[in-house]
Structure 1
Amino acid sequence: MNSPTLDALDRKILDALQADGRASNVELSAKVHLSAPQCFRRVRALEERGVIRSYRANVQPQALGLGVMAYVCLNIDGGQFGRVREIEASIRDFPQILECHTVSGDFDYLLKVVARDLKSLSQFLTDRLMQVPGVDDVRSMICMEEVKGPSPLPVDLQP
């Protein structure tokens, strides 16, 4: 997606939706001072342009028994770079992996992983992730405490 042009009203809508994704169109239009039909059209346009990617509930991991969060650095075997898209597809298939980013530096990927406990994290890394053909090196960092959780994107930062 190219960098979309967003005007002040689009930014207000995005800010309001990030604060409350369940707001009705009428509530949203009142917050951003637009008529309901105009607000609906703008939200729909933001969705169609890919600016709004999805709507979802932000669930507390502990409520699902997921007591461990870790960041995992992963390298691909140098001889396996021809299979990089296959390896990435395997990574996408693991529900324990919440995020995956290609990164610069000493590692190829940075993963955000959840697990029930340290033993299940270890089993996942050893028995599943490290068994993906082409995965060469895996290093994990256990999160001790969440200082700042998932946050809305700052809609007013200028490029």
Structure 2
Amino acid sequence: MPSNRHIIDETDRIVLKSLQDEGRLTNVELAARAGLTAPPTLRRVRALETAGIIRGYHADLNPEPLGYSIMVFAMVSLKSQAENDLRAFEEHVAQLPPVRECHMLNGEIDFILKIVAHDLQEFQRFLTAHLTSAPNVEHVKTSLTIRTSKNQPGIPVDDA
């Protein structure tokens, strides 16, 4: 269970920024950037993982060579905003691989989803089979991405 009690110092910030920018750094390379030796650097990384500050590691995949040419943002409004209905919708989209992100919003739209597809026809089939027909969905508005000018995962790691 993540703890909010972990105090982040400047060395932790260097470790976090370095790993967020280049997740494949070796512990030795990371230690050099942090100005430490390898063993205490590894202890810091493990402590940051245990505290839930580092949630995981992943590869940043380029969608185009893998045939994903379509990215769509879908704004979903539900008929009911009761907590069990919101959770049911979240559980539904969690099982849909094309949905890469799901965020609950404040305002007239309940959720915004980031969805990928190989082509427009595949997206249309997905939309009608899995989204507009989902229980409690009132309406869905979609916007097709034309281009992405910035895609920077993670968060800014501020100086202390």
Q: TM-score, normalised by structure 1?
A: 0.92
Any conservation in 2 of the 1:14–1:155 contact (CA below 8 Å)? yes
Q: Match for residue 18 of structure 2?
A: 16
Q: Evaluate the alpha carbon distance shift between residue 29 and residue 79 of structure 1 in structure 2; reply closer, same or farther with a 3 A threshold.
A: closer
Q: TM-score, normalised by structure 2?
A: 0.91
Say how many residue pairs are matched: 158
**Partner Cα distance (1:121, 1:3) in 2:** 43
Q: Which amino acid aligns with 1:148?
A: K
Q: Match for residue 143 of structure 1?
A: 145
Post-superposition offset of 1:129: 1.1
Identity of aligned residues (%): 37
Q: Evaluate the alpha carbon distance shift between residue 3 and residue 118 of structure 1 in structure 2; reply closer, same or farther with a 3 A threshold.
A: farther
Structure 2 stretches lacking a partner, 5+ long: none
Any conservation in 2 of the 1:80–1:134 contact (CA below 8 Å)? no
3-state DSSP class of the match of 2:132?
Answer: helix
Structure 1 stretches lacking a partner, 5+ long: none
3-state DSSP class of the match of 1:131?
Answer: coil
3-state DSSP class of the match of 2:156?
Answer: coil
Q: Match for residue 46 of structure 1?
A: 48
Q: Match for residue 7 of structure 2?
A: 5
Could you report, residue by residue, the CA deviation over 1:54-103 in whole angstroms, capped at 9, with x for unpaired residues? 10100001121100001110011127654321221011000000000011
- For residues 87-126 of structure 1, the aligned pairs below 5 Å read 87-126=89-128
Range that drifts further, 70-79 or 13-22: 70-79
CA RMSD of aligned residues (A): 1.8
Q: Which amino acid aligns with 1:107?
A: I
